[in-house]
Amino acid sequence: MPKHIFVTGGVVSSLGKGLTASSLGRLLKMRGLRVTMQKLDPYINVDPGTMNPYEHGEVFVTDDGGETDLDLGHYERFIDESLTRSSNATTGSIYQAVLAAERRGDYLGKTVQVIPHITDEIKRRIQRVSTDDVDVVITEVGGTVGDIEILPFLEAIRQFRKDAGRDNVCYVHVTLVPFIGPAGEQKTKPTQHSVTELRSRGIQPDIIVCRSEAPLSEELKRKISNLCDVDEQAVVNAADARNIYELPLILHDEGLDTVALEVLRLETEEIDLQPWTALVHTVEAATRPVRIGLIGKYVQLPDAYLSVVESLKHAGFHHGAGVEIEWIQAEDVEGLLAQDRLAALDGLVIPGGFGARGFEGKIAAARYARENEIPCLGLCLGLHAMTVEFARDVAGLAEANSTEFEPTTRHPVIDLMHDQREVTEKGGTMRLGAYYAVLSPGTRVHTAYGEPVVSERHRHRFEFNPQYRSRLEQAGLICSGVSPDRRLVEFIELADHPYWVATQAHPEFKSRPDRPHPLFRDLIGAALDRSANRIDGMQTTN
């Protein structure tokens, strides 16, 4: 039977529960344990798939097509395991399941209540990921202790220790120790109140992880230990780190994994920190600047492109480069072109999205990158923009467009593929999850992957229209990857360009800090070449 670690948070949101949980997962995995992770989210949406990115940030997609919380991206990047839709459960999905059971008569006419029916369903969701091939399940409870929406989840995990046995459950509470400038000291009162609130729900934390701007003194740790009734060694300080990948090392030095194993009565092999320490050294050594423009619709909230940003950083680590992201609102691109500001960039990424706003700006960026030999990578909607641009400006299809934005366009080079429909409750169509693609030998994409067949995750409704494939290929576009049945175009590229590549998929979901995704890796490589050539050109001119 797997052991369980539940991670809760207090005082304020965005303290880093997800990163704390991910770091603990990595530490346990480095000790030889098999680890999986899960997020319980208190919002009433069934999943984040229909949420505006400004509401919830990025929607992370799993291999089996789950549209999940962005914290699952942190989980996968840290523990290097592919998770499933079962790794994310929301209040909405839980109530939906309970109400469906009630309609079927599963409760035999009983009154359906939060306790036991909702809490039992929450526990069932936790048990779903508790398979025989897992040693430890780490479950993050979203929200903040004290929120009304979180109460059923706290009750469920309180009951879980009783059901599973005391030695099989560990509670980790992440809280804040703020620095008060005028007083010139760190304050433990928010942590005390947060733990008091958690204890009022029947949960005594085994470990308290204190987030702070600067390291805590031993005296403050003793104070928190005394007032919150936890062992002094179980007061763990997570002070601000230079980068997120340093966090596992900091938490190990603070004893987080050691205390968790003691609580769970688990014996493991000695931890091998060397690979992760080497990664952190690589991250810190990545200082060669490279400027990448991200042409997005939701650039005011960087979390909307969290996996794209991390993938760019991973590629930078590989090349010893510090990636500097220029956030560019897609609607502003044409104005920027008039100012020639894109010329100062070393590369571009045109990421995914939905809706017409900013699409013409993405097309303009794709044109500028193609004409000025700026390395450019298109993702999902980015492929659509690059296809439309090529059709209009190279293939002579001046009225080309996507039927997502112009249903009556004369040349629908991007269209809704009716034979690919997967009807959702929203009533739309979506291709979700992992799909295979066959790569054309000798192409840039095939060289990047080094494999003839690859699998990438998808999240889209519209596709490259195969009726236009021949005409676009005659004009010079290379369809470098297609579905196994040869009907759907998955990758496009140009032969006579430093790097002008696009994919219908979302490769950013599979990048890892120590194993960058091939498409991002080669984008940064091409961008560095451009940067070096520009510097050489400037020196020659001078």
139: part of which helix (H) or strand (E)?
A: strand 136-141
Count of other CB atoms within 10 angstroms of residue 302: 16
| Cα 6 to Cα 38: distance, rounded to the nearest angstrom | 10
The three-class DSSP label of residue 291 is strand
| Cα 461 to Cα 161: distance, rounded to the nearest angstrom | 43
The active-site residue out of 360, 493, 508, 517 is 508
The active-site residue out of 117, 497, 506, 517 is 506
**How many residues can be counted in the chain?**
542
> DSSP for 223-236?
HHHHHHT--GGGEE
The three-class DSSP label of residue 142 is coil
The three-class DSSP label of residue 255 is coil
Catalytic (active site) residue 319: no
Dihedral sign of CA atoms 94, 96, 99, 104 in order: negative
CA dist list (Å): 186 to 210, 213, 220, 239 = 11, 9, 8, 12
174: part of which helix (H) or strand (E)?
A: strand 169-176
Gyration radius of the chain over CA positions = 25
Q: Which residue is listed with tokens 């809704």?
A: 416
| Cα 217 to Cα 226: distance, rounded to the nearest angstrom | 15
The active-site residue out of 380, 404, 456, 458 is 380
Tokens of 367: 């044109």
**If we measure between CA atoms, which residue out of 345, 238, 182 comes closest to residue 18?**
238
β pairing state of 60-61 and 169-176: unpaired
- The identity of residue 401, as a single letter, is N
Catalytic (active site) residue 210: no
Residue 397 φ then ψ, to 5° = -95, 75
170: left (phi > 0), else alpha (psi -120 to 50), else beta? beta
Catalytic (active site) residue 411: no
Task: Pinpoint the alpha helices (H) of 57-150.
Answer: 71-79, 91-104, 119-128
Catalytic residues: 380, 506, 508
